[in-house]
């Protein structure tokens, strides 16, 4: 339930720069009086402007600013919903629109239109039209329920029953249906396009394969030629390897020959040194008679013996040297033969290395040719790319087919929901349940007001009014006073339904010059009976020129006066 507590305004219409404030929850009934132009209905305009950004009467926004001060027109409305305290601040010159909740201003990132939508849908849960059907009944710029078009009547009832959410859902669903329809159309177009691409790709692959057959044949023949050459070279290498293996003993024998040659050379050097020593010794004995060391004479017999033994030893050494020279010559001959064999082996190895190089080059060329053949056959190259493209197209077709099926399911599902959200769907079922209750309340209020007719609204919110004689009438058939009774009965009915639903229920009821219009004295008395039955939580404000007639019927009175062209509360 919305409990309005305070409204204040300044520089609004004929009000000056000082705030005019009215407590909306203090008294059960308040009479508002004043001369014409004193500002009685300003309360209604301020309340409507503060909540919905447009006044109760048909006044342009620029005209709301006090024409004398010309700026800082501001309205503040305070109310509570449950434990939440709200304050709406709205102004002109400068433009102000603020929503405060529990002392904190609600985020204003969105534009003013979205901000207003948030206020109406998430906080007030009623719009300007519904507000005036439940809270306000007046003669100025007010269109009674029965004078509204059928579409607007439905909006009021939907707000009242809190089922306008289905209309919002239906609006969102229509947008979703449109998106699904566009997506489905786009998906079907994509499927047709992919189908054409797949057909073209199949033809392209077929043409490429046919053109590549000759190329594959040429490369295969070259591979066969290279493989034959490799086999021939490998056979030659095997022959060379066998010959080399047959001469494996040569290197070891050659090494031994070199070792033997080195040994003979060492012997020769030793023999030459010994012979040289013997020659020196023989020469000493032949040339000396006295020992140069001790100066003693050398014995002739000793001298002859030494010379003789030296000659014998020299002959033996010479013979050994000649024998070593002969052996050395034989070893040199063997070494020459072995070196010839080693040279032949080196030549064979050179041939093997050269053949291996040729084999490696041919094998690499075979690998390149094989890869090219593989590419041409479809695992690479143009055919491979074409096949990969074809696979991607097939994948895209599968995805788009699944998407199409999903969208078709969504379309079927949305169509079913759409049937439920139409005016003939869930909302009609809800309205059917409440229509008997609404009609019952309307007729009860009509009887209280001594207007004895049978009033019924059908599911399309068209009226069926029957008199006691069962004659059928329309709303337009009645006098202005009778219409006023019907309008009042409907208004009190909407308040009762709102209280039952706890949707747009509020403590505030404002009757603008209702007592001054077409109601006769009996109608006024009957209306007062209804007002007396309202609970103490309801705050009723009656705007009237008949202050002297109505003054004693209300607990509180507010009188507006106008001084120096500014309106204020007396």
Q: Are 362 and 232 in contact (CB under 8 A)?
A: no
Q: Is residue 188 part of a domain?
A: no
Q: From 390, 425, 455, give the residue that closes a domain.
A: 390
Q: Are 31 and 141 within one domain?
A: yes
Residue 475 lies in a domain: no
CATH number at residue 229: 1.10.287
Rounded CA separation 463/473 (Å): 9
Number of domains composing the chain: 2
- Asked whether 492 and 530 are in contact (CB, 8 A), the reply is yes
Q: Are residues 120 and 229 in the same domain?
A: no
Evaluated on CA atoms 409, 414, 415, 417, the torsion sign reads positive
Same domain for 351 and 232?
yes
Domain that holds residue 61: 2-152+494-569
- 214 shares a domain with 137: no
Query: Nearest 5°: CA angle at 203, between 197 and 206?
Result: 140
Which two tokens mark 308? 């003789």
Task: Give the C-alpha separation, 64 to 96, whole Å.
Answer: 14
**60 Cβ contact partners less than 8 Å away, ≥ 6 residues apart:** none
Cα(455)–Cα(490) distance, integer angstroms: 10
Q: What is the DSSP string of 70-98?
A: -S-EEEEEEEEETTEEEEEEEEETTTEEE
**Pick from 357, 506, 432: nearest CA to 157:** 432
- Is there a single domain that holds both residue 148 and residue 225? no
Domain membership flag for residue 328: yes
Please enumerate in sequence order all residues whose Cβ is within 8 A of that of 9, keeping only pairs 6 or more positions apart, or say none. Answer: 15, 19, 20, 42, 46, 50, 73, 74, 75, 76
SS3 content of the chain, % helix, strand, coil (to 5): 65, 15, 20
Q: Are residues 386 and 529 in the same domain?
A: no
- Do 41 and 131 sit in the same domain of this protein? yes
Who contacts 449 (Cβ-Cβ below 8 Å, separation ≥6)? 485, 488, 489, 523, 526, 527, 530
Helical H segments across 375-448, by residue range: 381-421, 426-448
CA distance 330 to 319: 17
Burial of 260 (0-12, 13-18, 19+ CB in 10 A): middle
- As a whole number of angstroms, the distance between CA 398 and CA 198 comes to 12
Per-residue tokens: 50: 């503060």
Q: Which residue has the tokens 């609006």?
A: 171
CA distance 256 to 484: 144
Select from 390, 410, 427 the last residue of a domain. 390
473-522 confidence digits (pLDDT tens) = 888 888 887 887 888 888 788 777 777 765 567 888 888 877 766 566 77
List b or e across 456-468, with b for residues whose CB sees 16 or more CB atoms inside 10 angstroms.
bbeeebebebeee
Place of tokens 């447009």: 54
Q: What is the CATH number of the domain that holds 533?
A: 3.40.50.300
The answer as to whether 343 is a domain residue is yes
pLDDT by residue for the chain (570 residues), tens digit each?
889 999 999 999 999 999 999 999 988 889 999 888 888 889 989 999 999 998 888 888 889 999 898 899 999 999 999 899 999 999 999 999 999 999 999 887 766 678 888 898 888 887 887 787 778 765 544 567 788 888 888 777 777 676 767 777 877 888 888 999 999 999 999 999 999 999 998 888 887 777 777 788 888 889 999 999 999 989 988 888 887 777 767 667 767 777 777 887 787 788 778 778 877 877 777 777 777 677 677 677 777 787 788 778 777 777 877 787 787 777 777 777 767 777 777 888 898 899 899 999 999 999 998 888 887 766 555 677 888 888 999 999 999 999 999 989 988 888 888 878 776 778 788 888 888 998 998 898 888 888 888 999 888 888 888 887 667 888 888 888 788 788 888 878 877 777 776 556 788 888 887 776 656 677 677 778 778 777 778 898 988 887 777 777 888 899 999 888 899 988
Say what the pLDDT of residue 49 is.
Answer: 94
pLDDT of residue 382: 67
Residue 8 lies in a domain: yes
Positive or negative, the Cα torsion across 444, 446, 450, 451?
negative
Q: Which helix (H) or strand (E) holds 292?
A: none
Phi, psi of 412 (to 5 degrees): -65, -45
36 in the same domain as 138: yes
Interval 387-432: pLDDT, tens: 888 899 999 999 999 999 998 998 888 888 887 877 677 878 888 8
Q: Which residue has the tokens 């603020």?
A: 98
Cα distance between residue 545 and residue 551, in whole Å: 11
Query: In the sheet that 566-569 helps form, which strands lie side by side, from edge to edge?
Result: 136-138, 508-512, 539-543, 29-34, 556-563, 566-569
* Neighbouring-strand partners of residue 15: 567
Answer whether residue 94 is part of any domain: yes
Q: Say yes or no: 238 and 300 in one domain.
A: yes
Q: Do residues 127 and 229 share a domain?
A: no
If asked whether residues 111 and 236 sit together in one domain, one would say no
Q: What is the DSSP string of 152-185?
A: HHHHHHHHHHT-HHHHHHHHHHHHHHHHHHHHHH
pTM: 0.52
Count Cα neighbours of 561 within 13 Å in the Cβ-side half-sphere: 4
| 420 token code pair | 């439920």
Task: For the chain, state the CA radius of gyration.
Answer: 62
- Between CA 431 and CA 458 the distance in angstroms is 10
Residue 308 lies in a domain: yes
Nearest-angstrom CA–CA distance, 323 and 325? 5
Contacts by residues 200-205 (CB-CB < 8 Å, ≥ 24 positions apart): 201/386, 201/389, 201/390, 201/393, 202/390, 204/386, 205/378, 205/383, 205/386, 205/387, 205/390
pLDDT at 152: 80
| Domain presence at residue 21 | yes
| Claim to verify: residue 222 and residue 369 sit in the same structural domain | yes
Cross-strand partners of 399: none
Contacts of 257 (CB under 8 A, 6+ apart): 331, 334, 335, 338
Which is it for the CA torsion 315, 320, 321, 325, positive or negative? positive
Out of 372, 390, 408, a domain closes at 390
Residue 389: φ, ψ to 5°:
-60, -40
Contact 530, 445 (CB under 8 A): yes
Q: Provide the pLDDT for residue 210.
A: 75
């Amino acid at each position: 339930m919305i409990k309005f507590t305070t409204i204040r305004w300044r520089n609004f219409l004929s009000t000056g720069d000082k705030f005019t404030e009215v407590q909306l929850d203090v008294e059960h009934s308040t009479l508002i009086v004043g001369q014409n132009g004193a500002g009685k209905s300003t309360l209604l305009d301020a309340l409507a402007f503060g909540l919905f950004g447009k006044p109760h009467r048909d006044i342009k926004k620029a005209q709301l600013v006090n024409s004398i001060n010309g700026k800082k027109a501001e309205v503040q409305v305070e109310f509570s919903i449950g434990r939440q305290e709200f304050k709406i601040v709205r102004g002109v010159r400068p433009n102000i629109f603020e929503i405060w909740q529990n002392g904190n201003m609600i985020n204003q990132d969105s534009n003013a239109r979205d901000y207003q939508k948030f206020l109406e849908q998430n906080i007030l849960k009623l719009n300007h039209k519904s507000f005036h059907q439940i809270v306000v009944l007046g003669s100025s710029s007010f269109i009674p329920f029965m004078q509204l078009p059928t579409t607007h009547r439905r909006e009021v009832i939907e707000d009242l029953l809190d089922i306008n959410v289905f209309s919002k859902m239906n609006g969102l669903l229509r947008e979703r249906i449109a998106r699904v329809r566009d997506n489905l159309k786009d998906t079907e177009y994509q499927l047709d396009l992919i189908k054409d691409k797949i057909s073209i790709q199949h033809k392209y692959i077929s043409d490429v394969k046919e053109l590549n057959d000759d190329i594959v044949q040429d490369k295969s023949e070259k591979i066969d030629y290279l493989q034959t050459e490799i086999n021939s070279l490998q056979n030659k290498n095997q022959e060379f390897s066998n010959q080399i293996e047959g001469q494996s003993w040569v290197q070891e024998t050659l090494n031994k020959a070199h070792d033997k040659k080195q040994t003979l050379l060492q012997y020769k050097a030793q023999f030459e040194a010994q012979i040289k020593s013997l020659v020196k010794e023989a020469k000493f004995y032949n040339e000396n008679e006295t020992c140069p060391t001790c100066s003693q004479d050398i014995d002739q017999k000793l001298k002859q013996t030494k010379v003789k033994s030296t000659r014998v030893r020299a002959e033996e050494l010479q013979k050994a040297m000649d024998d070593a020279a002969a052996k050395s010559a034989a070893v040199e001959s063997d070494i020459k033969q072995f070196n010839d064999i080693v040279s032949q082996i080196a030549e064979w190895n050179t041939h093997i290395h050269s053949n291996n190089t040729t084999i490696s080059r041919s094998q690499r060329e075979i690998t390149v040719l094989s890869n090219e053949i593989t590419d041409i056959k479809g695992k690479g190259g143009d055919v491979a790319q074409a096949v990969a493209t074809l696979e991607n197209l097939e994948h895209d077709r599968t995805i788009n087919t699944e998407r199409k099926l999903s969208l078709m399911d969504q379309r079927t599902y949305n169509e079913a929901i759409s049937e439920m959200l139409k005016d003939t769907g869930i909302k009609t079922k809800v309205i059917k349940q409440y229509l008997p209750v609404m009609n019952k309340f309307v007729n009860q209020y009509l009887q209280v007001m001594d207007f004895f007719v049978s009033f019924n609204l059908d599911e399309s919110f068209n009226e069926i009014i029957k008199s006691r004689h069962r004659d059928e009438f329309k709303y337009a058939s009645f006098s202005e006073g009778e219409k006023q009774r019907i309008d009042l009965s409907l208004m009190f009915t909407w308040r009762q339904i709102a209280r039952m639903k706890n949707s747009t229920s509020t403590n505030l009821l404002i009757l603008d010059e209702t007592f001054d219009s077409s109601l006769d004295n009996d109608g006024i008395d009957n209306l007062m009976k209804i007002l007396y039955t309202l609970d103490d939580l309801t705050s009723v404000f009656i705007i009237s020129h008949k202050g002297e007639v109505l003054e004693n019927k209300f607990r509180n009175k507010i009188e507006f006066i106008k001084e120096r062209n500014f309106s204020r509360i007396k």
